[in-house]
Amino acid sequence: MLPFVAEIMSGPVAKCPSGLQPYRLLNCNVLTRRSTDTTKLALKPELVAKLKGIDLKARLVVEGFLAGLHRSPYKGFSVEFTEHRPYMPGDELKRIDWRVYGRTDRFFIREFEEETNLRAYILLDASGSMHYPADGITKLDYSRWLSASLAYLLTRQKDSVGLIVFTDRINTYIPPRASGAHLRIIFRELENTKPGGDTNLAYTLHQLAERLKRRGLVIIISDLWDDQTQVLSGLRHFRARKHELLLFHIFHPDEANLNFPAPLLLRDLETGVELTVDPRLIKTRYQEGFHQRSADFKKGCSEARIDYQPLSLATPFDQALLKYLERRSRLS
């Protein structure tokens, strides 16, 4: 068990291992389980929501995620040797040090200093449509925590990470850095991010693709409520600029299923337009439309060699982090 998680389990009040501000765990009962359950629970959005401070949330997610990996093969990719460690199933055969094997007749893996030349940009959509649902964890909350976790993970791996918050324009631009102080700036910005404004995703993507001169990993977190063709065009613009793209499509289950029991008056969070709908009558067609839209995004992204990951608000954060690590490993 990681020390961080152990500290969470040790009592309602604990200290952050890195010496950050003390935190209070709001619901300890959930965590009084075995370590494997705890790591899974730690990645659930509803648990993350109970913690105060986005930095704590990020730590909980990342540490929990890494604990779940347990001697992860994604440990690091370097050119400078640091140490040997015993071979574990799952390690790539090419990384076995055959010389040591010849001497000791045992498999050892060579570990290297991590590379620090990855430049990652997290593009967070903070438009009005992200402020859903009105009660509970909103899409923006989920996206902020995911952004924070990714930023934490990236910084932990000595990668540079920057943050761009946008609506119909670019609201915030924090250039990539790899320091802890920079991470705190990102956390603060994420804490202060408020939803509002329309989405003009395609236009913003084109703008950003032009603005980000140095190639890197671009992580887009958005609900993608804009014209599909134009959004894909914007994504391809990034690809044309040699960026690697990871697209997280955030949605609430209601958006996918339209599970409302009676006729209601829906108001568009961005435009304010109202529409009377009877979900009972159009639900099937709507669900088909949503899945078709998702499938179209997936196909379009696949053609442009973009990683597309739909994330429901109920999805634990590890899926997103795994997706990132997959992409990261490919970059290495």
Nearest approach, Cβ of residue 128 and another protein (Å): 8
Phi, psi (degrees; rounded to nearest 5) at 160: -85, 140
Compute the distance between CA of residue 51 and CA of residue 47 in angstroms, rounded to an integer.
Answer: 7
Residue 129 binds another protein, judged by CB under 8 A: yes
Could you tell me if 16 and 291 are in contact, meaning their C-beta atoms sit under 8 angstroms apart? no
Q: Which of 3, 92, 94, 134 is the binder for another protein (CB under 8 A)?
A: 134
Return d(Cα 17, Cα 2) in angstroms, integer.
10
Q: 3-class SS at 309?
A: strand
Asked if residue 275 binds another protein (CB under 8 A), the reply is yes
* Closest distance of CB 129 from another protein, Å: 4
CA 182 – CA 193 distance, rounded (Å): 17
Per-residue binder mask for another protein (CB under 8 A), 43-62, x = binder = --------------------
Q: Does 265 bind another protein (CB under 8 A)?
A: yes
Binding to another protein by residue 289, rule CB under 8 A?
yes
Query: Least Å distance between CB 197 and another protein?
Result: 13
Q: Is 287 helix (H, G, I), strand (E, B) or coil?
A: helix
Is the Cβ–Cβ distance between 204 and 170 less than 8 Å? yes
How many alpha carbons fall within 13 Å on the CB side of residue 286?
15
Q: Which is nearer to another protein, 93 or 265 (CB)?
A: 265
Segment interacting with another protein (CB under 8 A) among 20-28, 66-74, 80-88, 223-231: 223-231
Give the one residue of 159, 223, 307, 318 binding another protein; rule: CB under 8 A. 223
Q: Which is nearer to another protein, 106 or 291 (CB)?
A: 291
- Neighbour count for residue 306 (Cβ, 10 Å): 23
Q: Which of 16, 293, 298, 331 binds another protein (CB under 8 A)?
A: 293
CA separation (Å) from 130 to 5, 32, 58, 185, 309?
30, 33, 20, 22, 17
Q: Which of 290, 319, 326, 331 binds another protein (CB under 8 A)?
A: 290
DSSP state of 114: P
Which structure tokens are listed for 258? Answer: 């339209």
Q: Which stretch binds another protein (CB under 8 A): 85-93, 177-185, 253-261, 297-305?
A: 253-261
Identify which of residues 110 and 293 has a Cβ nearer to another protein in the complex: 293
Q: Residue 227 CB, nearest distance to another protein (Å)?
A: 8
> Closest CB to another protein among 129 and 149?
129
How far does Cα 199 stand from its chain's mean position? 20
Secondary structure class of 214 (helix, strand, coil)? coil
Q: Which of 57, 144, 249, 252 binds another protein (CB under 8 A)?
A: 252
Which C-beta is closer to another protein: that of 79 or that of 273?
A: 273
Burial (Cβ within 10 Å: 0-12, 13-18, ≥19) of residue 94: exposed
Could you tell me if 60 and 314 are in contact, meaning their C-beta atoms sit under 8 angstroms apart?
no
- Say if residue 133 is preceded by a cis peptide, omega within 30 of 0: yes
270 counts as binding another protein under rule CB under 8 A = yes
Closest contact distance (angstroms) between CB of 324 and another protein is 24
Per the CB < 8 A criterion, the answer to whether 151 and 317 are in contact is: no
The span from the CA of 64 to the CA of 27, in Å, is: 17
Q: Is 236 in the site for another protein (CB under 8 A)?
A: no
- By C-beta, is 154 or 311 nearer to another protein? 311
Residues that bind another protein (CB under 8 A): 129-132, 134, 139, 199, 223, 225-226, 252, 254-255, 258-271, 273-283, 285-286, 289-290, 293
